[in-house]
Each structure stands twice: as C-alpha cells, then as structure tokens.
Structure 1
C-alpha cells in the first residue's frame, strides 16, 4: 500500500544527501508543501517554505501540517571540532528535530544513520548513531525508517581525500558494506517514504542501492 504525502518537512537540505533529496521532492507532483529550514537560503520554489537560521532556534517556530519528515542531518568529528560538538548535531539536534516533526503531526520519520550503528559500540561514531536510533525508537513513531548507508559517493564542496581514495574499492565490497551513490540514496528515501509499513524498518546499504536504481 502506498501513501500520497503532501506536506513534507526536511532537515539537512544543504547537505550532500539533503540537496539531492530536496531536488527530488520539489519535482514530485504529489508534494504540495516542502518545509525546509536551513542556515543559508535555498533557491525559491512555489512549493518551498525555507525558514533561515540555526535549526535549533527555528524548531519551536516551525508550523503547519506535516505528513512525513526526512532527517538528513549529520557531520563528522573533524567538521564539528570535538566529540561533544559532534554529539550535539548527530544526536541532540536529530532527536529534537524528530520530536518537533511528531508534534506537527508527522506519522513517518525517515532518518539517515550509518552502517555499524550500535549504542553499545566501542567506536564513538557508531555508538552515537546507535544511541540516536534508540532515542528515535523511544519516541514511539507510528512509522520509523532508519537508513544505514555505507560510504556515500558524491560531489562534496570540501575534499575528503580518504573517501575519494576509498570510494572505488568500497563500491566493490559485498552486501551492506558496499558504497552507495548519494543520488541513489535520495531516490531510495523517497521510495521508502511512499511505503506504508507500521513500526521500525532498518534499511542497510545493499537494500538502499536496490531501491535507488
């Protein structure tokens, strides 16, 4: 069974995946309103509402009906500057965004996590991602979709040499460990948004690649 979403809330619209997802959502005739708060202004569109500022300060003022929410928020410890700053984005801000989306009536949340997410992991990055997933599960969403992509392949404004070197090899890895093109991830997220399935669904990178073809 498929839903026909009309009112969408998107966080992270200026990020690698968020930019691709933004373009896809604005091209969908079933999307009549896309609410996308960002730190810098987006190009105007008849169906786009774009509050500008820090997301944490914008959240309380977001209003209007929301059917489905996408969370593409995420950073790296290097970008954030510290583990505490990383957690503030990848845990605190994600959980706060989800709570606000639920308060606005959203029944389906789709969030980008990461391969290896585990709240008991000894690896800090994986542990925070796992704790974030658990916190969202505790919000008792009618429908929660957690995407766990492996290495994301796409054009970034900043150069990540390690990722560029690893990408060709990562594409050859089997199963859920194989890299995924960011455009495929965006397509997969939209397809998952259209599926009505109660409860929590975790989608690993191999399934995301299939859905994104």
Structure 2
C-alpha cells in the first residue's frame, strides 16, 4: 500500500511513520509537512507544502490510504481561529483533495467526546470535522476517538497531571473507559484499520482491542 500522512511530525505521527517503515505491507510513505523532519528512509517521501495553497500540492496526493493525525493546541496555535485552521480547515481540505485524487481510505485521529453540537470549542470542532469527513465518498472512513495520550518526552504539564490522575483512579478500576493510551498504541490501531479496511467510529476500548 501507499500511505499518505498529515501530522507526521506530531507524537502519534512519528510513531506511525516508524511503524509503516518496518511494515512490509506499505511500500511507500508520503508525508506532507510544513518543515522538513529530516527522515532518512528509502520508503519515505517528504513533501514540504503550504497547506494554505492546496493547488500547489494537490497532484502529489496519490496513494491508497490517508492517515490524518494533524492537530495543535490553542496555546501553540495562538488563538481559537488559528487552531481551527489546523485542526479543521487543513484536515478537511486534504481529505477533500485526497478523495478527488482517487484515494480510497481515510483514517482520522479525532477526540473523545467529539460532537458537532458540543458546548465546548475543541470537541465541537472535532465533531464538525468528523461530520464533514463522513460526507466525502471514501470507500473506508475510520475515525478514532482516543482518550488522554501518553506522549514520549511530553513537556505539557497539564497533560502529565491529567494522565497521572487517571492512572491513579485506573488502579482501582475507575474511569477505565478513559484510561490513558500510549501514542504507539494509537498508531498501531491506525495501521490495523488500514489493513482491515474496516470503517466506523472507534472509542477507547475498541482502539485498545485493535492493538491486541
């Protein structure tokens, strides 16, 4: 298979790239990034693009499956509008371009509690993206809604605290549906879905099961 990845430089994306490099089912990995991540592997093709100008890169979107794990925080983006541009506009534009170019499968990392009618900005944004993606004519659409993620070498204090609190309660069998997940586990489940061709929405328990 030929993979297309956006969000390849993030925590999940980095794990995903490494898994695909070592997976013989994938002969080509095309990553679309804003800055060169300096990945040296014969299977990996790096496309440094400006996501604001899809006409300049749309013909490069050639493959079998899109893995979309792009995302940012409001703090990193600088504002709600800037975060929306990355988490919704860029991802939807890439998906729309991919289906126009004949790509058959789309695998999206969304968020727990994603809902277009949510009162909260982040989960509403993710829900709107899910709804928009589901309206595109892909043969396979797989949406993953992971819980809090355990990122390698994370410097996000709030994230570390949330993970620690949940892990404490998990020891007593509480909040198991929200137990933190390693980014590698999420990446493995994405690869599994690409191979199975299974569509649907996958929550915490289903994602853990896909990695077994």
Q: Give the TM-score normalised by structure 2.
A: 0.90
Shift of 1:25: 0.7
Q: How does 1:58-207 map to 2 (within 5 A)?
A: 60-61=56-57, 62-63=59-60, 65-156=62-153, 159-171=155-167, 172=170, 173-197=174-198, 200-207=199-206
Moved more, 94-103 or 126-135: 94-103
* TM-score (ref. length: structure 1): 0.89
For residue 112 of structure 2, give the secondary structure of its aligned residue in structure 1.
coil
Distance 1:184 1:73 in 2: 17
Unmatched segments (≥5 aa) in structure 1: 1-5
Consecutive unaligned residues in structure 2, runs of 5 or more: none
Cα pair distance change 1:179/1:131, threshold 3 Å:
same
Asked if the contact 1:175–1:205 (Cα under 8 Å) also holds between the matched residues in 2, the reply is no
Matched positions, count:
205
RMSD: 1.7
Q: Which moved more, 1:201-210 or 1:124-133?
A: 201-210
Cα distance per residue 1:94-152 (max 9 Å; x no partner): 10011122122211100100001000000111100000000101113211000000101
Q: In 2 relative to 1, CA 8–89 (structure 1 residues): closer, same or farther, beyond 3 Å?
A: same
Is the Cα–Cα contact under 8 Å of residues 37 and 58 in structure 1 kept in the other structure?
A: no
Task: Provide closer, same or farther for how the CA distance between residues 138 and 183 of structure 1 changes in structure 2, counting only shifts above 3 A.
Answer: same
Report if the CA contact (8 A) 1:60-1:100 is conserved. no
Relative distance call for 1:74 and 1:19 in structure 2 (3 A) is: same
| Counterpart-to-counterpart distance in 2, 1:64 and 1:203 | 26
Which whole-Å CA distance do the structure 2 matches of 1:29 and 1:59 have between them?
Answer: 32
